[in-house]
Amino acid sequence: MAKEKQQKPPMPPLGAWAPAVALSWLVPGGGHLLLKRTGRGLLLLVAITSMFVCGLMMRGAMFQPQSGDILTTLINTGGFIGDVASGILYLLSYWLGYSQPDVAGAVHDYGTKFLVTAGLLNILAMVDTFEIAVGRKD
């Protein structure tokens, strides 16, 4: 008894999901709002923005990609990706000149983690937007 291979459904066209995912990156919760998931979109907008603003108020540092040993490269590049994933929140803070040096202290360290975590949460929101847009999730 051979098991039959399950056929994967074909990938939906780029135009069906790319605008929602791009908007989801740019404006946290924006992709959900575009897909008429208002409650989830507003919740994500408030949660991600609040986390990012708390990170700024704690004077968290923004990561910049740096080269050097492998650990330094991984930490700084990963942190930078997490920061940039916050979309317009990161872009506005960068354009408005927010530049906090990385200093010792628990509050500053938590602020840095809040900034990165806001971006990581936005990445999860982007994945959720994609799955809703292609019909894999309600």
Q: Count the neighbouring beta carbons within 10 Å of the beta carbon of residue 58.
A: 19
Domain map (residue ranges) of the chain: 16-133
Given this model, what pLDDT does residue 70 score? 93
- Nearest CA to 118 out of 32, 53, 33 is that of 53
Amino acid 94: pLDDT: 92
Task: Give the C-alpha distances (Å, rounded to integers) separating 1 from 4, 95.
Answer: 9, 63
Q: What is the pTM of this model?
A: 0.86
* pLDDT digit string, tens, across residues 64-97: 888 889 998 999 999 999 999 999 999 999 999 9
Residues 76, 65 contacting (CB under 8 angstroms): yes
Where does the pLDDT of residue 129 fall: very low under 50, low under 70, confident under 90, or very high at 90 and above?
A: very high
pLDDT in tens, 16-73: 899 999 999 999 999 999 999 999 999 999 999 999 999 999 999 999 888 889 998 9
Q: How buried is 67 (Cβ within 10 angstroms: 0-12 exposed, 13-18 middle, 19+ buried)?
A: exposed
